[in-house]
Amino acid sequence: MTMLIGVTHRHPDILSGSPVVFVGTRVPVRSLFDYLEGGDTLDEFLHQFPSVKREQAIAVLDAAYESVTDDAHPA
């Protein structure tokens, strides 16, 4: 299981506390998914948000993958 401790966090003083942001940045995790959904690559996202580390983005993507596949039952 991918752990997001040290990768993402919520804080009431950062973006009103509601979105989860990458640790050490003010970049909402949602931005990563918006970029990918829009057809951009991970490299393009990282270029636009240089404060986000590649390892952070990959950890979030791994956690998202695991969240939808861990409980999946083969057909």
Quick: pLDDT tens for 11-37.
Answer: 777 777 656 888 888 899 999 999 999
Q: What pLDDT band is residue 56 in, cutting at 50, 70 and 90?
A: very high
Residue 14 lies in a domain: no
- pLDDT value of position 44: 98
Residue 40 domain-assigned (yes or no): yes
Name residues whose C-beta falls within 8 Å of residue 8's C-beta, 6 or more positions apart in sequence: 20, 21, 22, 23, 29, 56, 60
Q: What is the mean predicted confidence (pLDDT) over 1-14? A: 74
In a domain, 9, yes or no: no
Instruction: Confirm whether 55 is domain-assigned.
Output: yes
Domain count of the fold of the chain: 1
Task: List beta partners, residue 42.
Answer: none
Residue 46 covered by a domain: yes
> How many C-beta neighbours within 10 Å does residue 4 have?
17
Question: Strand, coil or helix: what is 21?
Answer: strand
pTM of the model as a whole: 0.79
- Say whether pLDDT at 5 is over 90: no
Domain region containing 61 = 26-69
